[in-house]
Amino acid sequence: RWSRVKGRLRSSVGEDVYTSWFARMDLEGVQDESVRLSVPTRFLKSWIQAHYAERVLSCWQAEMPEVHRIDLTVRSAVRPAAHPKEAPAPVEARRAPTPELRSTATAPVSANHDALGGSPLDPRLTFASFVVGRSNTLAHAAARQVAEGRRGDPVMFNPLYIHAGVGLGKTHLLQAVTWAGNSGNERKVLYLTAEKFMYGFVAALKTQTALAFKEALRGIDVLVIDDLQFLQGKSTQAEFCHTLNALIDAGRQVVIAADRPPSDLESLDDRVRSRLAGGLVVEMGSLGEELRHGILKSRVAAARAHHATFEVPEEVLQYLARTITHNGRDLEGAINRLLAHSKLNNRPVTLEMAEHEVRDLVRPQEPKRIKIEDIQRVVARQYNVSRSDLLSSRRTANVVRPRQVAMYLAKTLTLRSLPEIGRRFGGRDHTTVLHAVRKIEALVSKDTALLEEVESLKRQLQE
Ligand code: ADP
Ligand code: MG
């Protein structure tokens, strides 16, 4: 039934609007006359409520006349289907009760951009509060370079594409570029989340102002787009592609952040992907202990601007930096909790308090994210062939088997899809990859020598 309702919705709003707004909507349950649906973000929820509530209801009623109410909720785990790698659900759920001092301390403000309207900027996310460490030196330097450019300067790398996992500082860096770029010189810098871009474009389509929207976009000097992995919908993507090309060709700077490299943005067109990869692509790695320590200190300093008596002893900072290894949001959450706790109970922060208050944020090291290149390198070394042999079309026995092993490992140790793995192995078809995976699966169940070899490769990769 749910799929029939979705079918109705799709034909009622059109393919493009459907993929933009409803593709990530899930059915949570039906009870008597009400239906519970969920979407991954608050933004999607309010957009659907404001524009499509009636439509959704009538599509349900066409299938189930007794339905009279639709409850739309935001799923606690931010985990869209196309995107299974994000933080596991319990983490997000645990994060919910964290006191959100961020939004009360200083309300986000909007960068005012006439008709376009950028996404809200957090005044605290500036270069001044961005801590530089080993994992983000290059990204930071490139971002600074972009922010300091003036109108008419030659553009050095375009687009600047920054990718990193959740909570590693992408949004912080992009907003820093926006703040810095907009202050002081005559350039127009526009910060948009990919969702906001879709919103702008779809809204413009509905009111027949799409042309004005396009013109306005092309009139800015620096376009900053956050969370590009959420860009969905064929015509939105086509529009994004045009905008990208137009801006780059006109010598305007484009800065993009996403949670994965361009090659892994599977829903995007090949041409867009290669355009994205044609500028400077920088990855920000996980936050090292020193960097975590620096971020904690910067957070405490920021909190002290409003709560002058708030102090966190060095031993507590060290404890937090050592034990909270996941991402910047947890570091921020930890400081927020300590602040709330010490304010409410009127007690100074101690190590004991910290151990108690943040114990759920402390968790074992995340398993290492294994890259396909690493697999190819390790397998090539093990079998004494070159990496280019693995990617080549050679079919001699001494490369066929290692290649199959490597594809098998890519399928079992990464979250890449079969077509993506095929592409990364010299442009092979997904059926070839599937064949290799099945072959090795069958072999390791009989051949213990091969099984041991595969296990040893896995161990080497996980180290
Ligand atoms: P992302 O957009 O990559 O998911 P954010 O930019 O939202 O991550 O960062 C999450 C939190 O961690 C924010 O509070 C941010 O200020 C903080 N943070 C991450 N990296 C840094 C850094 N290098 N310096 C200061 N704060 C950081
Ligand atoms: Mg972000």
- DSSP string of 411-439, one letter each residue: HHHS---HHHHHHHTTS--HHHHHHHHHH
Give the long-range contacts of residues 238-242, CB within 8 A, separation 24 or more: 238/269, 239/201, 239/214, 240/197, 240/272, 241/269, 241/271, 241/272, 241/275, 242/214
CATH number of 372-462: 1.10.1750.10
- Quote the DSSP letter at residue 113: -
Looking at the CA of residue 124, tell me the nearest atom of ligand 1.
16
Q: Which two tokens stand for residue 148?
A: 């300091």
* Ligand 1 centroid from CA 257, angstroms: 13
- Pick from 127, 172, 259, 286 the residue to mutate for probing ligand 1's pocket: most ligand atoms within 8 Å of its CB: 172
Q: Where in the chain is the domain with CATH 1.10.8.60?
A: 289-361
Which of 6-20, 67-81, 363-377, 447-461 is the least confident region? Answer: 67-81
With a CB cutoff of 8 Å and minimum separation 6, the contacts of 446 are none
Looking at the CA of residue 175, tell me the nearest atom of ligand 1.
6
pLDDT at position 87 is: 34
* Ligand 1 centroid from CA 327, angstroms: 8
Q: Is 36 helix (H, G, I), strand (E, B) or coil?
A: strand
- The fold adopted by the segment(s) 2-74 is GMP Synthetase; Chain A, domain 3 (3.30.300)
Q: What are phi and psi of 122, to 5 degrees?
A: -90, 120
Distances (CA, A) of 50 to 76, 87, 179: 21, 29, 30
User: Which residues share a beta bridge with 257?
Assistant: 162
- The dihedral of CA 141, 119, 85, 361: what is its sign? positive
pLDDT higher than threshold 50 for residue 59: yes
pLDDT higher than threshold 80 for residue 360: no
Percent helix, strand and coil across the chain, each to the nearest 5:
55, 10, 35
**Is residue 73 a contact partner of residue 28, using CB atoms and an 8 Å limit?**
yes
Q: Whose CA is nearest to atom 16 of ligand 1?
A: 172
Give the long-range contacts of residues 347-354, CB within 8 A, separation 24 or more: 348/311, 349/310, 349/311, 349/312, 349/313, 349/316, 350/313, 350/316, 351/313, 351/315, 351/316, 351/319, 354/316, 354/319, 354/320
Read off the pLDDT band of 101 (50, 70, 90).
very low
> In this structure, which ligand is nearest to the CA of 122?
1
**Residues 104-283, CATH architecture:** 3-Layer(aba) Sandwich (3.40)
Q: What are phi and psi of 280, to 5 degrees?
A: -105, 120
pLDDT at position 357 is: 85
pLDDT in tens, 162-194: 999 989 999 999 999 999 988 866 788 999 998
Distances (CA, A) of 279 to 239, 255, 446: 19, 10, 48
* Ligand 1 centroid from CA 62, angstroms: 46
- Quote the DSSP letter at residue 229: G
Q: Which two tokens stand for residue 105?
A: 């301390």
* Ligand 2 centroid from CA 402, angstroms: 38
pLDDT at position 98 is: 31
User: What is the CB < 6 Å shell around ligand 1?
Assistant: 125, 129-131, 136, 164, 166-172, 295, 298, 328-329, 332
User: Which residues share a beta bridge with 82?
Assistant: none
Q: Whose CA is nearest to atom 17 of ligand 1?
A: 328
Kindly state the percentage of the chain with pLDDT values over 70. 88
Looking at the CA of residue 295, tell me the nearest atom of ligand 1.
25
Quickly count: other Cβ atoms within 10 Å of residue 352's Cβ.
9
Q: Whose CA is nearest to atom 4 of ligand 1?
A: 167
- Quote the DSSP letter at residue 264: G
> In this structure, which ligand is nearest to the CA of 284?
1
**Residues 289-361, CATH architecture:** Orthogonal Bundle (1.10)
* Ligand 2 centroid from CA 174, angstroms: 9
Rounded distance between C-alpha atoms, residue 97 and residue 68, angstroms: 32
Alpha helices in 132-193 (DSSP H): 137-148, 170-182
Q: Where in the chain is the domain with CATH 1.10.1750.10?
A: 372-462
* Ligand 2 centroid from CA 244, angstroms: 21
* Ligand 2 centroid from CA 227, angstroms: 6
Read off the pLDDT band of 80 (50, 70, 90).
very low
Residues 20-27: what's their mean pLDDT?
Answer: 83
Looking at the CA of residue 331, tell me the nearest atom of ligand 1.
12
User: Which residues share a beta bridge with 189?
Assistant: 222
- Burial category of 107 from C-beta neighbours within 10 Å (exposed 0-12, middle 13-18, buried 19 and up): exposed
Looking at the CA of residue 173, tell me the nearest atom of ligand 1.
6
Rounded distance between C-alpha atoms, residue 57 and residue 200, angstroms: 25
> In this structure, which ligand is nearest to the CA of 86?
1
- Pick from 102, 132, 295 the residue to mutate for probing ligand 1's pocket: most ligand atoms within 8 Å of its CB: 295
* Ligand 2 centroid from CA 106, angstroms: 18
Rounded distance between C-alpha atoms, residue 37 and residue 72, angstroms: 5
Kindly state the percentage of the chain with pLDDT values over 90. 38
Residues 414-426: what's their mean pLDDT?
Answer: 90
pLDDT higher than threshold 60 for residue 83: no
Closest by Cα among 212, 213, 193 to 119: 193
Which of the residue ranges 81-95, 174-188, 306-320, 354-368 has the most confident prediction, judged by mean pLDDT? 306-320
Q: Which two tokens stand for residue 396?
A: 């001699």
pLDDT at position 294 is: 95
Read off the pLDDT band of 432 (50, 70, 90).
very high
Computed over every residue of the chain, the mean pLDDT equals 83
